[in-house]
Copies of this chain bind each other. A is one copy, B any other.
Amino acid sequence: MSSPSPKLALFEQFALVAKTLGHPQRLELIEQLGQGPRSVDLLAEKLGSPIANVSQHLQSMRRAGLVAAERQGKYVVYRLADASVLAAMQAIQRVAENNLAEVDKIVRGYFDQRDSLEPITRAELSDRLRDDMVTVLDVRPADEFALGHVPGALNVPLAELDARLATLDPEKDIVAYCRGAYCVMSFEAVSRLRVQGFRARRLEDGMPEWAAAGNAVAS
């Protein structure tokens, strides 16, 4: 805690933020919180981790200015501190995407269809939405959909995709979105839809970005 120069003191604060972002589980928490405020309980369930563990991660994230907490009855509800947190996570993803061969390998290695990787931009989707030419698929689990989603989106959780193929209009293009840019469920959904002959693409990023871009979140 003893920092002689203000420069070092500042860099220590910046490092605290970055270091706190540097843990997979905490990134997952940010991904979840990007969709809206959540209780410790629910987050722990989503991550499949012990509550005490998640609680500690959340507290270190609060100390680093990444999240804020508020008690609501018997729950403590955490939310992202502000939009800059998602921006920082995206900036980090961008670095990894550009410069780590491993990232490319993981994405390409897991999904066989190359074209399933080509995303559609938000602007493009907005255009085509006006003409009603496209079905927007929210492939997150039903409980996450229920807690907030983009208006007009159809909730088809990945687990139910096969069962609900018949209800999808094969004449329309399909755009699938998920939690965030690297939520793999949208990759998987598009891959499987294409095998079935649908014209499907995934949105370049997920719920929080699209909601932030002016599409109100329906609860």
- CA–CA, A7 and B184, complex, Å: 6
- CA–CA, A109 and B10, complex, Å: 12
| Residue in B closest to A87 when the chains form the complex, CB atoms | B91
- Find residues 3-30 in chain A having any chain B CB closer than 8 Å to their own CB: 5-24, 26-28
Asked whether A13 lies within 8 Å of B96 as measured between CB atoms, the reply is yes
CB distance from A161 to the nearest CB of B (A): 17
CB distance from A34 to the nearest CB of B (A): 13
Asked whether B65 lies within 8 Å of A100 as measured between CB atoms, the reply is yes
**A147 in the interface (beta carbon within 8 A):** no
Asked whether B110 lies within 8 Å of A65 as measured between CB atoms, the reply is no
**A107 in the interface (beta carbon within 8 A):** yes
CB distance from A30 to the nearest CB of B (A): 10
Asked whether A14 lies within 8 Å of B99 as measured between CB atoms, the reply is no
CB distance from A134 to the nearest CB of B (A): 26
Residues of B within 8 A of A18 (CB): 18-19, 21-22, 27, 92
**A106 in the interface (beta carbon within 8 A):** yes
Instruction: Supply 14 A–B pairs (Cβ within 8 Å), ascending by A.
Output: A6-B184, A9-B106, A10-B103, A12-B24, A14-B93, A14-B96, A15-B22, A15-B23, A17-B95, A21-B21, A22-B22, A84-B98, A88-B88, A91-B92
Residues of A bordering B, CB below 8 Å = 5-24, 26-28, 64-66, 81-82, 84-85, 87-96, 98-100, 102-103, 106-107, 109-110, 182-184
